[in-house]
Amino acid sequence: MSTYFMFGRYSQDSASKISSKRTSDAMTLINANGGKFKSGYALLGKYDLCLLVDFPNLEAALKTSVALSKLLGIAFSTSPAVPIEEFDKLVV
């Protein structure tokens, strides 16, 4: 499993539909695509939320990112997170 940061930005329409049911639906979709939700945060600034999710591969992360955007109306930018120890091994 690899870790991904999923940064989301609400549209005006999607912000008006925030609910615990939508959050539950998002978790169900993440699990259905082989993902494991680790944590989530509401943010102030460029992005409105950040999800930290483990996925088995890039394909699952991409599929889930697009599916969540369609389901929730939230634009997601999904990026792999490389642990510092692994990063050091890769670049040194």
Domain ranges of the chain: 2-91
Find how far residue 9's CA is from the centre of its chain. 11
d(CA 17, CA 22): 8
Closest to 42 in 3D by CA, of 62, 18, 17, 71:
18
pTM of the model as a whole: 0.86
Express each pLDDT in 19-77 by its tens digit: 899 999 999 999 999 999 999 999 999 999 999 999 999 999 999 999 999 999 999 99
Select the CATH number that applies to the domain covering 2-91 from these four: 3.30.420.40, 3.40.50.150, 2.70.50.60, 3.30.70.260: 3.30.70.260
